[in-house]
Amino acid sequence: MAEQPTVEGLSAEVERLHDQLAAKGINSRQTKDIYGRVFSLPVDSEHKATALNIFSVSKPHMRAFHTSWFGFFSSFFSTFAAAPLISYIKKIGPDGKPYVSGSGPDGELIKADIALANILSVAGTIVFRCLMGYICDILGARKGLGFLLLVCSPAIVGMMFVTNAAGFQACRCVIGWSLATFVACQVWCSQQFAKKICGLVNATAAGWGNLGGGVTNLTMPLIFLITLSITNGDENWAWRLCYIVPLAFHLVGGIMVLQSRDLPDGNYKELELSGAKQKSKGSVVLKVGVSNINAWILTITYGFCFGVELTMNNIVAPYYTEYHGLSPQISGLFASFFGLMNIFARSVGGLLSDWCNKRYGMRGRIWSTWIVQTIEGGFCIAMASITMGMRSPDDPDTVDIQAYTQVCDSWLPVPNVTVPMCGTKPIVTDDEMRSILGITAKQIVATTPPSDIFEGGSDCICNSGTAGVTLFLMICFSLTVQMAEGLHFGVVPYVSRPALGIVSGMVGAGGNLGSVIALRAFFMAAGTRTDDGIFQLGWTIIGVTALMFFVYFPDMGCMLLPAGGLGSYDPQIIKPPETYRGADEMDYSAEATTDTKGKGEGVAVEHA
């Protein structure tokens, strides 16, 4: 006779079915928030989602996910929009006047002017990233993200009207403040998703945000060609009108924030009124966050993965144009690959972090971060080494020579145009030039021809044919940069829960500080070769990353020691009060006194 199923057996089978559905991102248990609203995703006991469904935009978890990455994407797109357009921005117009006046002999922008603008574009947000961490703990990541997108929008409009280096640098600085949306992005996702998938979620959201750096390099030169047609060939107004696109992104991102929710159960204010959330204390989170040794180490090491990405987004498009002799459109395409790797590479880093945590605990997360970031430095060195023995336009003996352009298999002199030896200059042609050269193209690239046309030309990087191998190594370099970023934010949520925002802000600010240091130390000085700077950057990455050996968690250990391996040592110098909870820690034993709009219907608390 067949054995009859027991109640316990049926209950266990139902639980297994619930678990299977939860793994697919379905909340079959119908778990509700404290106001009785059913979550679309399966959640843990803190109402944090335990699965990620990128095809959903439902509140609260997936709406926060998509809003956070798009807001960060918008800031990346606008901050680095100038890099692929710089060949046009720095030009002298047909009337002999520069489009944007600078420190050059003819009043044009020079390398030092552009380098300072690059530095300011990432330096200004250092303070704002620290402030954003504080705002996330006190007011919420949602409000911080939306506020910053809208506050920086006027500077995007300003870029359409700048006439001198000071205005150009000031606008880039203010637009760069919006990069602090990264902190809001990471804090918001950490508050909405369970720790077991925080590596994947944080990495994917930040990676898709970072993708803006690749997309802007890819699309802005193409948008320029569209605006060039609209303006009937006026390239001065054409590059300015390109900024309508990043402006639209900022406005859309700001509007999306209004349709989202701070925490799984509601917004900060209503949860504080209900008693479920403890009101955050600024003095506590600040002291706890800045007194954590792990936070400072991660701040420094993150500067040489995310900071490297910011640096490359500023220099790589001009590098391919000026050194390899490619057009701005092709250079933008090549440069875009560095940022486009974010579509999956940072997520791979997050997945690797979560996998290592599952197999080896926190020690696995730290080891994998050190290994990948050290490999990153190796690829950086390899990329630079390809061209270091060749001549570049930044060599000290460089002089201006007659410019040539290649038409089919022939090299033709470009009338009334000179370029630095081994240098490159994109030219928008007029009817007379097209007639002389026998071409129909509205844009050409003027450069140094090979040695059979001009003595020494074959020694130039632009005639070496190394753009392809450099691109391959750059892509490998980019993959490890993005993975290292994802690996870092697989560790950050564990550093200090009561001060999650402050710690995230510190580490995020470290990324920008690393870029400022790299740009200032390796790429700003007059006559500095870009490939030399990349080479030195690679060795710096390897050296700084060794600090990962000093990250230690008393209950989880470090790279070389198990939990408790350092005795009573605790990297958290100042402890939070025993009763203090983090901004996302709810008291589900409290009773809600507000409805979903905060109007007081006295809805009872639901338990997960």
Widest Cα–Cα separation across the chain: 101
Give pLDDT tens digits for 165-217. Answer: 999 999 999 999 999 999 999 999 999 999 889 889 988 999 899 899 999 99
Mean pLDDT of 467-482: 97
Average pLDDT of the chain is 91
What the block records as the tokens of 293 is: 């040794």
The closest of 186, 200, 197, 478 to 342, measured between CA atoms, is 478
More confident residue, 111 or 604: 111
Which region holds residue 592: left if phi is over 0, alpha if psi is between -120 and 50, else beta? beta
Which amino acid is residue 424, in one-letter code? T
- The fold adopted by the segment(s) 61-390+466-553 is Growth Hormone; Chain: A; (1.20.1250)
pTM above 0.85, yes or no: no
Directed axis angle between helix 198-230 and helix 467-491, to 10°?
140
What the block records as the tokens of 589 is: 């034993």
**Whether residue 526 has pLDDT greater than 90:** no
Share of the chain above pLDDT 90, in %: 74
More confident residue, 426 or 603: 426
Residues 6+ apart with CB under 8 A from 363: 556, 557, 558, 559, 562
Burial class (CB in 10 A: 0-12, 13-18, 19+), 438: exposed
Sign of CA dihedral 463, 469, 474, 475: positive
Give pLDDT tens digits for 129-173. Answer: 989 989 998 999 999 999 999 999 999 999 999 999 999 999 999
SS (H, E, C) 63-80: HHHHHHHHHHHHHHHHHC
**Whether residue 594 has pLDDT greater than 60:** no
The residues facing 420 across adjacent strands are: 400
For the chain, percent helix, then strand, then coil, each to nearest 5?
A: 60, 10, 35
Q: What is the pLDDT of residue 96?
A: 86
Q: What is the pLDDT of residue 590?
A: 58
Give pLDDT tens digits for 38-80. Answer: 999 999 989 999 999 999 999 999 999 999 999 999 999 999 9
Give the domain ranges of the chain. 61-390+466-553, 400-463
Give pLDDT tens digits for 373-416. Answer: 999 999 999 999 999 999 999 998 899 999 999 998 899 999 98
The residues facing 447 across adjacent strands are: 404, 424
Phi, psi of 468 (to 5 degrees): -65, -50
Mean pLDDT of 344-351: 93
- How far CA 326 is from CA of 100, 227, 250, 469, 548, in Å, comes to 23, 21, 31, 14, 39
More confident residue, 301 or 489: 301
- The three-class DSSP label of residue 386 is coil
- Answer whether 429's CB lies under 8 Å from 444's CB: yes
Which amino acid is residue 574, in one-letter code? I
**Whether residue 436 has pLDDT greater than 60:** yes
Q: What is the pLDDT of residue 94?
A: 83
Residue-by-residue DSSP string for 146-184: HHHHHHTHHHHHHHTT--BHHHHHHHHHHHHHGGGHHHH
Distance in angstroms (rounded) separating the CA atoms of residues 384 and 536: 9
Give pLDDT tens digits for 545-560. Answer: 999 999 999 999 999 9
Q: What is the pLDDT of residue 547?
A: 98
- Answer whether 571's CB lies under 8 Å from 294's CB: yes
Phi, psi of 538 (to 5 degrees): -60, -45
**Whether residue 608 has pLDDT greater than 50:** no
- Answer whether 144's CB lies under 8 Å from 136's CB: yes
**Whether residue 584 has pLDDT greater than 70:** yes
Distance in angstroms (rounded) separating the CA atoms of residues 501 and 545: 23
**Whether residue 459 has pLDDT greater than 70:** yes
Q: What is the pLDDT of residue 195?
A: 85
Which amino acid is residue 593, in one-letter code? T
Mean pLDDT of 306-317: 93
Mean pLDDT of 281-295: 91
Q: What angle do CA 197, 201, 205 make, to 5 degrees?
A: 175
Residue-by-residue DSSP string for 14-32: HHHHHHHHHHTT--TT--B
Which amino acid is residue 520, in one-letter code? R
Give pLDDT tens digits for 490-508. Answer: 999 999 988 988 999 999 9
Distance in angstroms (rounded) separating the CA atoms of residues 368 and 202: 17
Residues 6+ apart with CB under 8 A from 136: 144, 183, 184, 187, 188, 500, 501, 504, 505, 583
**Whether residue 19 has pLDDT greater than 80:** no
- The three-class DSSP label of residue 460 is strand
What the block records as the tokens of 309 is: 């990405």
